[in-house]
Structure 1
Amino acid sequence: MKNIRLSPLVSAILLTGYSSVTFAALGQNLSVDIRSLAMGNAVTADPPGISAIHFNPAALTKIEGLQTDVQGILADFNIEREFSVPAGYNVFGYSDDPIVCNDGPEVDADICTDFKGPVRGDVEYPSLYVPGLKKMVDLGKGMPVAAPTAGIAYNPPGSKMTFATAMYAPLIAGFGAEDGNPGNFMGQQVALERITYLSPSMAYQINDQLSIGGSIGMSYQALALKNDLRFPNELIGMLRMIDDVVCTPFKENSDVITDILLLGMCNAEEGMNPFGRFGQLELSAEQSLSPSYNLGVLWEPTEDFSFGVVYQSAAKMRMKGKYHIDNSKAPREMIKGLMSSPTGQILAAVLGFPNSVPASESGLVSMDLEYPAHFQAGIKYKLLP
C-alpha cells in the first residue's frame, strides 16, 4: 500500500512490529462458465463456446453464425478455519490467550493451564462488495453467491473471422462472520472481485487445423475488508510485563521522578496485551477500468486431438478508496502516558509517534495491486466416439 494516511495507527503499529494480511484468490475462474468449472477449468484445448474469450480466444472460430450464451452460477462459500497452538506456545512468557485457552477468570495466572483443542472459526455467510453502494453487503447465512454471465459471438457466413464479447467474473470471492468469531483476526468480512464487463474479441482461422485469437478485457476491480487487529509479538508482551510488574507499585503513587524514569508508561489506565484487540480496520478500494488481454492458439489436426495455449496478461492497478479505523483504549492510553512525561515525549518525537491516538480515524487510501499474468497449455484427446 502507498499513500495511506494512517499516521496515528501506523505509529502504534510500529511499536508492535510488522503484521500483514494475506488474501487468497479463492474464487478465481469461478464465474466464467459452468461446463469449464465442472472440468476444473482444464479446457484450454477445447474451450466451450463463447467462454473461449477467457480460456482460449482462438477457439471462437468453432462458432458458426450468431450465438448467445447466458448462464447463472450459484456458489456456496462454506470455508472452514481452524486454529491451534504449538507446544510451548507463549509470547514473552504469556500464554493466557483467550482464543485458545480454556482458563476462566478464576484462574489468576499468566500461563495457560488448559489449552483448547483445535478452535473453529468458520465463515458464517457470504459477502459481496457492491460498487454503487461502495460497501460490503452480507447475503445471509446459508445463502449462495449468485454470479450471472452473458456473451454474444458472430461468425459471418463464409468468413474466417469471428467476433465476440462477454460479461463474466474471472475472480469473485466474499465471506463474513459475526462479532466474536475467532477467525475475525484473519478477516471478519472480506470481498475480492474482478468483473469483466466488456471483452471485445476476435479469432481468425488460418486453415482447417490452426486458429489464433485475442481478446481485450475491460474489468472492474474491488477489494474490501473488515478486520479485527491484534499483534501477539514479543514487543507487546514486553509492554504487558512492564505494566504488570514494573508499573504495579506506581499505579496510584506516581510522581515526577517515576514519570521521567518510566517514560510515563505507568500512567496508562489500560496496559497493552499481546492477546488484546488493538482495533478494527475497515477498508475498501476499487478501480473502474482495469484493462488486460488474452492471446490464444488452437491446433486441431484431427477431430479426436487438439492442442491449445493461452496467455492471459497481467493487469497493474492503482486502486483508490477509503478506510476507517476504531482504535482500542490500550494503544490510546499508551500514547497518552508517553505524552504525560518529558522523557516519554522525547522518545515519541524520536520514533515519530503522534501526540495522541484518536478513538477513530478515517481517510483516503490508494493501493498498488497487480492481477497476475497466467500462461496455460492443454491437450484434448477423445478416447471414445
Structure 2
Amino acid sequence: MRQARLLAAAAALASTCAHGALVENLTTSVTAMALGNAVTADPPGIDSIHFNPAGLARLVGDSEIYSAFGASIRTGAAFTKGPNFDVGGWTDDPIAGMRTGPVRQAMVIPIYGMPGWRLPGVIIPGLGMAFNKPGSPFTFATNSYMAQAISIDRTTDPNDPGRFDGRQIQLQRLVYASPSIGWKYSDTLRFGVSVPIAHAAFVVDTHMRFPNELLGVFGKLQQGWCPESGGNIIDTFGFGVCGGGKEGMVNPFKKAAAMRLEMTAPFDPTVNVGVLWEPRPWFALGAVYQGGAKTRYTGTYRFDTEPMLRNFVAGMNASLMGPVAGAVLGLPQSIPEVQKGNLAATIPFPAHLQLGMKLKPLRWVQLNVDASIARWSDWNMLVFEFDQSVKLLEVARLYGIADSTKLKIPRGYRSVVNYGFGVQLFPTEKLALRFGYEPRKSSIPADRIDLIAPLPDTKLYSVGLNYKVGKDSDISLTASYMAGKFDTPANTDCNLNCNKFLNVIYNPYAGHDVAGDLKVRYVGLSYTKRY
C-alpha cells in the first residue's frame, strides 16, 4: 500500500504540472525511439540512466552498450503578403512569394568548437557501461548520449529569405559522463539516481532587418526630403537626415546587420531520480524526475552593421542639429562596421517529469504508455549580456530599449502535456519487433513560433527491432520519422510577423503570411554485450 501511495502521489503531481515537448528525447536512445519514448515503466538497460535510473537495478552482471544514430532535420517556410500589406508606406518587399532553401546540419565539438562542415545529417556515437557484482542489490553505470539537440543551417543559399530569422541555429546538450546507481530494494521495487554531466552549446547566426512602421515612415520622409545626390544646405543646418547619402537612405526591407552569438557551458551537471514498481510480470509503473539547471553560457559575439545605418548615423552627426537630437534620443555618435567581444547568458535547461505504465497481457505482446512533462515555460525571455554597449543596439533606444549592453529576445513558451505510446511483439525467443507513436504537442504557441525554433505540433512514428545475437549479446535497430506544419497569418505572431509601430525585436517578416513545415528523420543502431 505504501508503494501504491507513492506512485499515486507522483501521478497527482503530473496532473498539476502541464508541460510539453520541444527537442528532448529525440536523439537519446535507439530503444526508446522505437517505442515512442514510452519506456519509463520498462527502462532500456544502460539507457535507463536517462529514462529511469531505477531500471539499472534490473541488470545482472557487467554490460556494455555501443550505439550510433544518424538524424536529419528539414524545415521550410513560404512568405506571402498579407491583406493590405503596407509597412510605413512601403509595399514592395523582395521576399514576397519566396520560399526558404536547403537546410543542412552542423555540430559543436567540445573543446574544438563548430567545424565548417555543412552536412545533410549528423552521426553521433555513444558508449555506456554498467557494473553489477553477482548477488549485490546495487548496479553502477555511466553513459554518453545526446540529451537535447536541434540543428538548422541555411547558409547554402546566400539569398535564402530564412537568413533573417536564423542562418544557423545550434542547440545541443551532449552528456559525456553520467555516474549512476540503481538499487534493488525488493523483488518488486527499485530506485535509481544518475548525475548526467553535459557539455551544452548554443549558437545563433542571423542576418537582421527591421520592417516596422516607424522605420518605414522615416524612409519615406527621406525619399521626399533628400535629393538623389544626398544632402542639401537646409538639411546640413538641420538634423542631417540626408547626410548619409544614397547608402544612408533607410529601407525597412534592406539587410541592416548580421549577428553571431556562439556560447558553451562545458560542465553542466543535473540529477535524475527514478522509481520502478513491478508487482506482476505483466504490469509495471515507473516515474523519473530529471532535474533542470540554470545553465550559464559564456562565449563570443559579433555584429556586422551594413552601410545603411552606419552612414545614416554618421550623416546625422555631421549636421548642426543632428548631434543634439541624437543626444536627446540616446543614439550613438557612430556605429562601427564590426563590433565583437564576449557575452554571457543564463538559459534554463528545463526540468522534466515522466510517468509510465507497462502492460503485457499476452506472452507475445507488450504495451507501454508514458506521460512526459518539461518546464519549457521557463523560456519566457532569453537575455544575452554583452561586455560593452553594442552600438547597433543603441539605435534601438528609439524603440524603448534602454539597455544596449543586453539583448532581450522574447519567447513566451508554454508548458503542455505530451504522451508516448509503444508496442512490442515477440514472435520468437530471439526477436522483438517494436513500434512507437508520439503525438508531440509543441511548447511554442502558434503566436510565438518563428524560424529560429520552427517547432509546431508534430507526430513521431517509429519502427524497430531487437535481435539476440547470442546468449549474452543483442542488436537493436530503429527508424523514425517526425513531421508537422505551421501556418501563421500576418500580424498574429510578434516573434515573427507583427507589423506594429515599435516592433523592432524581432519581426523580420512583418505583414507576411508565413507557412512552414518540419521533418525529422532518424536511424539508430545499438549493440549490447553482457559479461
Find the partner of 1:170 among 147, 153, 163.
147
Matched position secondary structure for 1:97: coil
CA contact (8 A) 2:126 2:143 kept: yes
Matched position secondary structure for 1:382: strand
Give, as a single letter, the amino acid of the residue that structure 1 aligns with 2:62. L
Change in 2 beyond 3 A, CA 1:28/1:136 = farther
Q: What count of residue pairs does the alignment treat as equivalent?
A: 340
2:526 matched residue in structure 1: none
CA contact (8 A) 1:31 1:149 kept: no
> C-alpha root-mean-square deviation of aligned residues, in Å?
1.8
Bigger strand fraction: 2
Matched position secondary structure for 1:300: strand
1:265 matched residue in structure 2: 241
Report the Cα offset of residue 252 of structure 1: 5.2
State whether structure 2 residue 200 is matched by structure 1 residue 221.
yes
Matched position secondary structure for 2:25: strand
CA contact (8 A) 1:128 1:175 kept: no
Report the Cα offset of residue 253 of structure 1: 5.9
Query: Distance between the aligned counterparts of 2:235 and 2:328, measured in 1?
Result: 21
State whether structure 2 residue 176 is matched by structure 1 residue 180.
no
Change in 2 beyond 3 A, CA 1:51/1:230 = same
Note the alpha carbon deviations across 1:79-138, whole angstroms, 9 max, x for none.
2233333212221121211000xxxxxxxxxxxxxxx3xx32144211122333333533
Find the partner of 1:193 among 149, 153, 172.
172
Find the partner of 1:68 among 64, 69, 80.
64
CA contact (8 A) 1:127 1:190 kept: no
Query: Distance between the aligned counterparts of 2:285 and 2:101, measured in 1?
Result: 41
Report the Cα offset of residue 209 of structure 1: 1.1
Find the partner of 1:280 among 258, 269, 276.
258
Report the Cα offset of residue 247 of structure 1: 2.5
CA contact (8 A) 1:32 1:149 kept: no
1:1-385 aligned at under 5 Å gives the runs 27-100=23-96, 116=97, 119-140=98-119, 143-177=120-154, 178=156, 179-248=158-227, 254-255=232-233, 257-261=234-238, 263-269=239-245, 270=247, 271-385=249-363
Report the Cα offset of residue 383 of structure 1: 3.2
Change in 2 beyond 3 A, CA 1:341/1:205 = same
Report the Cα offset of residue 25 of structure 1: 8.2
CA contact (8 A) 2:236 2:319 kept: yes
TM-score by structure 1 length?
A: 0.84
Query: Distance between the aligned counterparts of 1:38 and 1:342, measured in 2?
Result: 70
Note the alpha carbon deviations across 1:258-278, whole angstroms, 9 max, x for none.
3344x1111122211111101
Report the Cα offset of residue 26 of structure 1: 6.0
Query: Distance between the aligned counterparts of 2:139 and 2:53, measured in 1?
Result: 10
Report the Cα offset of residue 176 of structure 1: 1.1
Report the Cα offset of residue 236 of structure 1: 1.2
CA contact (8 A) 1:153 1:162 kept: yes
Give, as a single letter, the amino acid of the residue that structure 1 aligns with 2:357. I
Give, as a single letter, the amino acid of the residue that structure 2 aligns with 1:264. G
Report the Cα offset of residue 77 of structure 1: 1.4
TM-score by structure 2 length?
A: 0.62
Identity score, percent: 35
